[in-house]
Structure 1
Amino acid sequence: MSNMNVAECRTYFSSDSVCPTEGTPDSVAALHTPEFLNGLKCSGVPNHSLALKIGSPVMLLRNIDHSAGLCNDMRLIISKLGDHVVEAKILFRSHAGTKVLIPRLSLTPSDPKLLFKFQWRQFPLMLSYAMTINKSQGQTLFTVGLLLKKPVFVHGQLYVALSRVSNPNGLKLLICNDNGEYVSSTSNVVYKEVFNNI
């Protein structure tokens, strides 16, 4: 999708370093080279290399300013690319259309698999041409394309996905069965037990 955008691309690289702690000797901290830290992938942390273009849709990965609408999972569209800040326009909710500046932030991932803490300095953004059903909750979209390679597995999840679109004409579904063939229906998980005491 990004290749279809003909705007000039600008790549931002993170600046990573091991956080000094009392339990970590300097010799151990020195083992974790910048190249090693750059290759780590952690949930909720942007990639080391972040390639952005004007017009690219992105998702905010951190709460920055709730009063300005800059909350985790907020979708924006890039309008300017600077050296130290990125300008973007908020796409949805009460602040839709507002232009905001996104600075680089210092993030410390809290991944329990890591035996040390490190600091990651990068723009808290990731490209967002698609999102999970859970991430879409609370948003209103004009066009929704829903890819269901597996049946929905949680009560109410199909409703959340289908109710994001403001007009039924903007809804497209692609449903596959276990063999990867296209089908015209899917199961909707409903707990009938909730109706027992009515």
Structure 2
Amino acid sequence: MCNISQSSPLSELIRCAKLIIWDEAPMVKRFCAKAIDRTFRDIMKCNRPFGGKCIVMRGDFRKILPVIPKGSRADVVNSTINSSYLWSHCKLFQLTKNMQLSSSSSTDNSKLKLFSDWLLDIGDGRIGLPHDGMEEIEVPDDFLIMDYHDPLQSIVEATYPDLLHHLADSEYLTNRAILTPTVEVVDQINDYMCSLLPGEPIEYFSSDSVSIADQGCASFQELYTTEFLNTIKCSGLPPHRLAVKVGVPIMLVRNIDQAAGLCNGTRLKITFLGKHFIKAIALNGTSIGQEVLIHRMDMNPSKSRLPFTMTRRQFPIILSFAMTINKSQGQSMTNVGLYLRRPIFTHGQLYVALSRVKSMDGIKILILDSDKNPTNREIF
């Protein structure tokens, strides 16, 4: 069940709603849909699916499905909403008109049509050769970066040309990002790009602790030292050492003010670095251009296999020159650099990364093989 009481304002809003739109529905686990269904039945006092409310679930099953740590393909498929008992009550509608094509000039239509069809072929698995249960495709040369000395430098220059001359341009930063599958590579790229900017970085260190309920063991301090807690990196948790400069783009990793559009995934640009707060302006979302004050807050890992509950007090931000492919889902940009130092590892990642741009001219791809040499083949 969801924690929504019968007398709460949210409960009243649900009772009054005529239509509820659920965005990116294929990303959630079927148990989430079950919890919503049971809660709505209780609020509406009606035993029909979702309490009789009309719900539009928007999404694309070609994209990334629910994340199951260490799960097999069967585990992922079994967790999706089309494996739920509610799926039989859904009516499927398919969008057939490409709005990107209809809004472009006639001279670009042929290129956009080819790019759109290629993306759909990748998403539907109609392209590539079998490779150990996966598919191997040959990426067209138009997208590839093949001639370089340093792979990191080349992907940065391809995605952020003349970076130092465009730091004051918020639109330039909003419409560009480097995508890669893993957090480790994202951190490496962000640190490299931050080092390119003038000035010394300001460092903010977190305060890490463990829940008092988990401190019953007499040798607790010896088992989980502060130094050990500082090394922990989890999804949705900022790093222990946060090194930033004025002008760098950042991304929120927690909801700060949902009503103002300051949610997890919102990108901002730092304008001032204080001792106890950071000032930034929003680059995307519903509050573009709005000035925001960000303070430290207590955060717990949203998904963690740790045998204890950890709390990290830190600014809820990460650098966003680069981001993981999963984190980019739902965003639209004009220029994307796709850095594949290792193959993608889950369904839909390649399709999501390639579909973040509005045209084929806006994407550059750098693929490295097992020997760290450039290649034009990728497994997905």
TM-score of the superposition, structure 1-length normalised?
Answer: 0.78
Q: From 265, 273, 277, give the equivalent of 1:81.
A: 273
Shift of 1:176: 4.1
Larger radius of gyration: 2
- Matched to 1:92, the amino acid is N
TM-score of the superposition, structure 2-length normalised?
Answer: 0.44
Shift in alpha-carbon separation, 1:185–1:124, aligned structure 2, 3 A: same
Aligned residues of 2:236 and 2:302 also touching (Cα < 8 A): no
Q: Any residues of structure 2 matched to 1:1-198 within 5 Å, and which?
A: 1-21=193-213, 24-25=215-216, 27-31=218-222, 32-109=224-301, 112-149=304-341, 156-177=348-369, 180-184=372-376, 186=378
Shift of 1:53: 0.6
Q: Determine what percentage of the aligned residue pairs are the same residue.
A: 48
CA distance in 1, matches of 2:355, 2:282: 21
Shift in alpha-carbon separation, 1:40–1:135, aligned structure 2, 3 A: closer
Partner of 1:192: none
Most deviating of 162-171 and 117-126: 162-171
SS of corresponding position for 1:131: strand
Shift of 1:185: 5.5
Aligned residues of 2:336 and 2:357 also touching (Cα < 8 A): yes
Partner of 1:196: none
- Matched to 2:253, the amino acid is L
CA distance in 2, matches of 1:59, 1:112: 21
SS of corresponding position for 2:195: helix
Aligned residues of 2:266 and 2:285 also touching (Cα < 8 A): no
Question: Is the helix fraction higher in 1 or 2?
Answer: 2
Aligned residues of 1:103 and 1:123 also touching (Cα < 8 A): yes
Most deviating of 53-62 and 103-112: 103-112
Shift of 1:69: 1.9
SS of corresponding position for 2:352: helix
Question: Is the strand fraction higher in 1 or 2?
Answer: 1
CA distance in 2, matches of 1:186, 1:107: 37
Aligned residues of 1:92 and 1:139 also touching (Cα < 8 A): no
Aligned residues of 1:89 and 1:96 also touching (Cα < 8 A): yes
SS of corresponding position for 1:54: coil
Shift of 1:177: 4.8
CA distance in 2, matches of 1:63, 1:47: 17
Most deviating of 70-79 and 175-184: 175-184
Identify which of structures 1 and 2 has the higher relative contact order when contacts are C-alpha pairs closer than 8 Å and 6+ apart: 2
CA distance in 2, matches of 1:5, 1:95: 26
Q: Deviations over 1:51-109 (max 9, x none)?
A: 11111222211122222222222222211111221112222233222221211011123
- Matched to 2:308, the amino acid is F
Shift of 1:154: 5.3
Aligned residues of 1:93 and 1:139 also touching (Cα < 8 A): no
Aligned residues of 2:234 and 2:304 also touching (Cα < 8 A): no
Shift in alpha-carbon separation, 1:181–1:138, aligned structure 2, 3 A: same
Shift in alpha-carbon separation, 1:134–1:42, aligned structure 2, 3 A: closer
CA distance in 2, matches of 1:33, 1:179: 38
Shift of 1:156: 4.5
SS of corresponding position for 2:218: helix
- Matched to 2:268, the amino acid is L
CA distance in 1, matches of 2:368, 2:226: 43
Structure 2: runs of 5+ lacking an equivalent:
1-192
SS of corresponding position for 2:298: strand
Shift in alpha-carbon separation, 1:109–1:28, aligned structure 2, 3 A: farther
Shift of 1:184: 4.2
Shift in alpha-carbon separation, 1:186–1:48, aligned structure 2, 3 A: closer
